[in-house]
Structure formats: C-alpha cells, structure tokens
Amino acid sequence: MQTYGHSVVFTTTLVVFLFVLWLVRRHSIGERFAGLWLLISVSLLIASSVGYRYLFLIAGLVGVPYAPSALFFLAIAGLTLLIIELFAWVSKLNDRTRVLTQQLALLRERFDREQTAGRVR
C-alpha cells in the first residue's frame, strides 16, 4: 500500500515536471517564472522519490509530532510566498501598463495635432 501510494505521488510530480517543461518549450510561461516552476517541480520530484523518507526525521527535528502537518505547513508557506511574489509582479505590470497608456494617449494627441497642422500625413 505504501509502495502504491508512493508511486501515485511520484507519478503526479513527474507529470507536473513534464507539464512545466512543456510550458517552457512552448514559451507559455515567461523566463521569470519558468526557472521558479522548474525548481519547484524538480524539488517535488526529488521529495516524492527520496525525500519522503526524511519527512519524519525533519518533522521530529523541528518539533512537529505529526509529520504530515509539517508537510502541509511547508506547502502553505511556499504557496503564500508564491502568491506574494505574483502580487508584486502584478503591481509592477499595473504600473507599466499605466505609464504605457498615458504615453500612448499623449503621443496620439501630439500626432493628431501635427496631422491637423499638416506636418504629418
């Protein structure tokens, strides 16, 4: 049963890893996030293949009596960090979009004025 469960986890993380690779190959995921997701998927792969043996050991070392709780804590902490990173990135993109929108409007107004004055055809 343990071997079967292990195989399921390993296969799932392998699928995640291959999916990330496929996204990177297709340029569907930008360079900024490609490296991050490759790192995450490789870490998951390693953790699901050999790392699970050390889960109880690590949980014991940090004083968590129930090992799966430590795993959930790590997963939630990792995802929270990822969400914060995405929020920061969205804020930056929002700033860039605002500047581009303003510049586009200003350039268009200048172009219209020049066109009216007959300097641009």
Burial classification of residue 97, based on how many CB atoms lie within 10 Å of its CB (0-12 exposed, 13-18 middle, 19 or more buried): exposed
Instruction: Give the shortest CB-103-to-another protein separation in angstroms.
Output: 8
Q: For residue 62, what are the contacts with CB-CB under 8 A and spacing of at least 6?
A: 70
Q: Applying CB under 8 A, does 115 fall inside the site for another protein?
A: no
Q: Considering only residues 7, 11, 12, 102, which one is a binding residue for another protein as defined by CB under 8 A?
A: 102
Q: For residue 11, what are the contacts with CB-CB under 8 A and spacing of at least 6?
A: none
Q: Applying CB under 8 A, does 92 fall inside the site for another protein?
A: no
* C-beta of 62 vs 117, nearer to another protein: 117
From CA 100, how far away is CA 119, in angstroms rounded? Answer: 25
Q: Applying CB under 8 A, does 91 fall inside the site for another protein?
A: no
* C-beta of 15 vs 104, nearer to another protein: 104
Q: Applying CB under 8 A, does 84 fall inside the site for another protein?
A: no
